[in-house]
């Protein structure tokens, strides 16, 4: 993939602009997601009280496709598609692959933290788009992990800074009795969706069975006397 760069606050500003008309779709989806989690938690504790210490993990695993569905709402908004709450249930067909991806990303990240902390931080950021790529592009787990890692690594510090900025925005949104979350949470999802759309949708790559290591770039076959400038994502090029 061509080198790229983006403005942290440029992409957040554009994401905030795109929350118009879809804020309540995100809020309703998240409330439904939480209701489903609460129902599952109540049922599990009623039937098997001994699972309480593993409850958070079980909830994450059982509702993983829905969580990914909400992430893809942000991507769909970036694609300027119509959004509906029911879309968050579209990815249960990819559940085995999402589960394997979740396990591997979690395992590698934990091992990274054990190794010296810094590798864990690196992988936690670098694998940002693994699960959306598995669900949305029908990629194999390893290819999705590698494509996410290699793409994000090109601007890892910007993604790290973006994560901090989004955390602060959501935190500030929660302070005034949570009212600000109506804007900050959809903005967070759409922010990552905008970057996903520009980084992965603009690439004409067959994702199903191709190994990303085998991608050929025609530009490498020609001799160029001047290096390419990085693709500027946000703010958009004039």
> CA 65, CA 100: separation in Å to the nearest integer?
12
What residue ranges do the domains of the chain occupy?
4-213
| 79-89 residue pLDDT tens | 999 999 999 99
**Residue 78 confidence (pLDDT) above 60:** yes
What's the pLDDT tens digit per position in 104-158? 999 999 999 988 888 899 999 999 999 999 999 999 999 999 999 999 999 999 9
Residue 232 has pLDDT above 70, yes or no: no
Quickly list H helices, the chain: 8-17, 23-47, 55-62, 64-78, 95-116, 118-126, 130-136, 141-153, 156-174, 181-196
Instruction: Give the Cα separation of 161 and 146 in Å (integer).
Output: 21
| Contact residues for 90 (Cβ-Cβ < 8 A; gap 6+) | 69, 72
The verdict on whether omega for the bond into residue 235 sits within 30 degrees of 0, i.e. cis, is yes
> What's the confidence (pLDDT) of residue 214?
39
pLDDT at 233: 67
pLDDT at 48 over 60: yes
Higher pLDDT, 213 or 112: 112
Q: Give helix 118-126 / helix 95-116 axis angle, nearest 10°.
A: 160
CB contact at 8 A, 134 and 144: yes
What is the reported pLDDT for 201?
Answer: 85
Euclidean distance between CA atoms 68 and 146, whole angstroms:
18
- Gap between the terminal Cα atoms of the chain: 22
CA gap 76, 61 in Å, rounded? 24
In this prediction, residue 204 carries a pLDDT of 41
Residue written as token pair 């950021």: 125
Check whether 203 has a pLDDT greater than 60.
Answer: no
The Cα 29–Cα 43 span in angstroms is: 21
pLDDT band of 4, cuts 50, 70, 90 = confident
Rounded to an integer, what distance in angstroms lies between the CA atom of residue 99 and that of residue 66? 12
Give residue 218's pLDDT band: very low, low, confident or very high (50, 70, 90).
very low
Mean pLDDT of the chain: 85
Q: How far apart are CA 73 and CA 168, in angstroms?
A: 22
Of residues 141 and 232, which shows the higher confidence score? 141
The pLDDT assigned to 177 comes to 82
């Amino acid at each position: 993939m061509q080198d790229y760069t983006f403005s942290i606050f440029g992409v957040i500003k554009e994401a905030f602009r795109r929350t118009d008309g879809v804020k309540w779709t995100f809020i309703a989806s998240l409330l439904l997601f939480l209701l489903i989690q609460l129902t599952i938690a109540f049922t599990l504790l009623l039937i098997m009280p001994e699972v309480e210490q593993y409850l958070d993990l079980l909830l994450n695993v059982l509702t993983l496709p829905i969580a990914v569905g909400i992430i893809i709402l942000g991507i769909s908004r970036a694609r300027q598609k119509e959004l509906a709450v029911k879309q968050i249930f579209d990815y249960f067909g990819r559940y085995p692959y999402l589960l394997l991806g979740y396990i591997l990303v979690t395992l590698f990240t934990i091992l990274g933290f054990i190794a010296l902390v810094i590798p864990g931080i690196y992988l936690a950021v670098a694998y940002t788009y693994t699960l959306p790529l598995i669900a949305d592009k029908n990629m194999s787990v390893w290819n999705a992990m590698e494509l996410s890692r290699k793409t994000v690594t090109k601007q890892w510090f910007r993604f790290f800074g973006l994560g901090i900025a989004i955390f602060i925005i959501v935190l500030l949104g929660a302070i005034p009795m949570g009212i600000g979350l109506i804007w900050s949470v959809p903005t967070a999802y759409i922010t990552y969706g905008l970057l996903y759309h520009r980084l992965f949708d603009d690439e004409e790559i067959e994702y199903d069975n191709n190994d990303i290591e085998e991608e050929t770039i025609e530009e490498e076959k020609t001799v160029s006397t001047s290096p390419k400038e990085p693709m500027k994502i946000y703010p958009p090029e004039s």
